[in-house]
């Protein structure tokens, strides 16, 4: 079975987050394109969300920054979600 893994596209990596990365918007757009293609081709999509414990520098569980980017949340709604600690 083929699957597309969408790993850690979370708010803290974007402007306003605790660990913004260069190229995050481009990576987001590439991921959205890949998700759309995978769904069209019948490939399973699995989103992975990193959650850190309270007091962590970023991805702190329950924080806005730990959330998947809203566009990814929409794109993977109804697909598998795996959280990693």
CATH number at residue 61: 3.40.50.850
Query: What is d(CA 55, CA 26) in angstroms, rounded to the nearest whole number?
Result: 29
Three-state DSSP class for 53? coil
Chain centroid to CA 64: 13
Q: What's residue 65's pLDDT?
A: 98
Query: What is d(CA 36, CA 27) in angstroms, rounded to the nearest whole number?
Result: 14
Rounded mean pLDDT of 8-23? 97
Instruction: Report residue 32: phi and psi, to 5°.
Output: -60, -40
Q: What's residue 83's pLDDT?
A: 97
Q: Is the pLDDT of residue 1 over 90?
A: no
Residue 47 DSSP label: E
Count of domains for the chain: 1
Give pLDDT tens digits for 18-67.
999 999 999 999 999 999 999 999 999 999 999 999 999 999 999 999 99
């Amino acid at each position: 079975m083929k699957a597309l893994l969408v790993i850690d596209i979370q708010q803290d990596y974007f402007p306003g987050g605790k660990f913004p990365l260069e190229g995050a918007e481009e990576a987001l757009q590439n991921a959205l394109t890949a998700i759309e293609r995978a769904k069209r081709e019948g490939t399973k999509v699995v989103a992975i969300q990193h959650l850190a414990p309270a007091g962590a520098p970023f991805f702190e569980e329950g924080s806005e920054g730990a959330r998947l980017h809203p566009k990814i949340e929409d794109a993977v709604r109804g697909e598998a979600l795996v959280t990693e600690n």
